[in-house]
Amino acid sequence: MKRTFPRILLLCLALFALAACGRARDAAAPDVEATVVAAVQATTTAQTQMQASIDAAVQATTTANAANAALTPTPTPVVIITTETVTEIVTEIVYVPQDVYVTMTEEELQALVDESVEQAVAATEASAASAATATSDDVVTSEEVETVEVSVQLAEETIAYAEEVLATYGDLYADSSAEMVAALAGIEQELATLNQSAASIATSLEEISATLDAGLALAEESIAQLESAATDAQATVAQAQAQAAVWQTALQTQADRAHAAQMALPTQPTDLTALIQNIQPQQMASDLPAALQMTRSFAEVAQRSLADGAIDQNEIRAIAQAGVDVSAGLKSFGGPQVQGLADNITGVTSALARNDLPAARQGLDGLNAQMPAVGDGGGTRPGGVQPPAGGRRP
């Protein structure tokens, strides 16, 4: 019994030591599950942060592109014809706004009509040349379709602009002459023909583009149709240029007619009344006979003025000065009848000043009719007025 207890005791001690060693090993071993969870969380966080960085960069790029687009507007393509073929494609065009050209003078609007029609013709010619180039090798690509479409769109826009300007000129300034009516109608018809040519090219392009987008091969008929539309457009360009020459001829005829009408108008007389309003007497007669002699001299000078049918400034000043000198003498020495002579002289001077020659002649006729009834002075009647010929009345 005594030997058994020690053995039991030794066994317990061994078991206790083994348990302690197991706990030590368990404490030092890694927690695999916790490690996996932590790694997954770290990866997710990193991905989130990276995606946020990418989103921020994309947003910054988009904002910058939008700002650049706002600062740099997209230009409108314009085809410039510098020789008989298309030589350059630029990206700048300026149309005169309608609220500006409706206020232009007739000459200014005529020049704008010329420019707009010339631009429409050039743009149509460019679209035709572009289409002909695209079909020259019997193959039309999507890129070629896009190039021709740009030129056709420009042609249509410039034709519409020319039609608007021409219609405005017709409403505001065109006269009723047969030449001008025919020229305007001809230009309108040619612009309409240009528009039809551009539309034919556009229609062919639409069919070709639809075929290419569907991934199908182009039929020879489609290419031939576009080529034919380009040829027809070239023909309409020549017709429009010829009609533009007719328009120029009509404008010149209208200008010549207006100039001839202006030259045929009688020269409008100048009113010189203001020149004589403040003229004062400078030389007055010393007696009635001298005043009457000055009256005769005034009548002769005025009569000579009427002979050539024109009164200039120097002439009217001299006549007016003589008139006020005579009137002052007559009013100083004459009676009622002589006072009438002074009034008649004033009327003749005023008529001559305003270039009313018929009234001046009438006044001179009255003045000359009064003169024989007025003696040379020294008579027995007061004021030196002599009785009419034939003696006194009973």
pLDDT, tens only, 31-56: 544 544 444 454 455 445 545 544 55
Pairing assessment for the beta strands 86-90 and 78-81 based on DSSP bridges: antiparallel
Tokens of 106: 């007739």
> What is the mean pLDDT of the segment spanning 326-344?
81
- Residue 190 CA to residue 199 CA, distance in Å, equals 14
Q: Which residue has the higher pLDDT, 148 or 311?
A: 148
Q: Is the pLDDT of residue 24 over 50?
A: no
pLDDT above 90 covers what percent of the chain? 13
CB 158 within 8 A of CB 179: no
- Give the pLDDT confidence of 125-178 residue by residue, as tens digits: 999 999 999 888 888 898 988 999 999 999 999 999 999 999 998 888 766 677
Tokens of 164: 């608007």
Judge residue 5's burial from the number of C-beta atoms within 10 Å of its C-beta, 0-12 exposed, 13-18 middle, 19 or more buried: exposed
User: What is the pLDDT at residue 39?
Assistant: 44
Burial 134-143 (b: 16+ CB within 10 A, else e): bbeeeebeee
CATH class of the domain at 273-384: mainly alpha
| Domain ranges, ordered by start, for the chain | 79-256, 273-384
pLDDT band at 315 (very low <50, low <70, confident <90, very high): confident
User: What is the pLDDT at residue 48?
Assistant: 54
Q: Is the pLDDT of residue 381 over 50?
A: no
Chain center to CA of 185? 22
- Residue 193 CA to residue 388 CA, distance in Å, equals 89
| Contacting residues for 322 by C-beta, under 8 A, at least 6 apart | 294, 297, 298, 301
Q: Do domains 79-256 and 273-384 have the same CATH topology?
A: yes
Fold of the CATH domain 79-256? Four Helix Bundle (Hemerythrin (Met), subunit A) (1.20.120)
- Residue 245 CA to residue 187 CA, distance in Å, equals 10
Phi, psi of 243, deg, nearest 5: -70, -30
> What is the mean pLDDT of the segment spanning 55-60?
50
User: What is the pLDDT at residue 370?
Assistant: 81
pLDDT band at 376 (very low <50, low <70, confident <90, very high): very low
Orientation angle between helical segments 106-135 and 178-213, nearest 10 degrees: 30
- Residue 46 CA to residue 275 CA, distance in Å, equals 102
- Residue 181 CA to residue 187 CA, distance in Å, equals 10
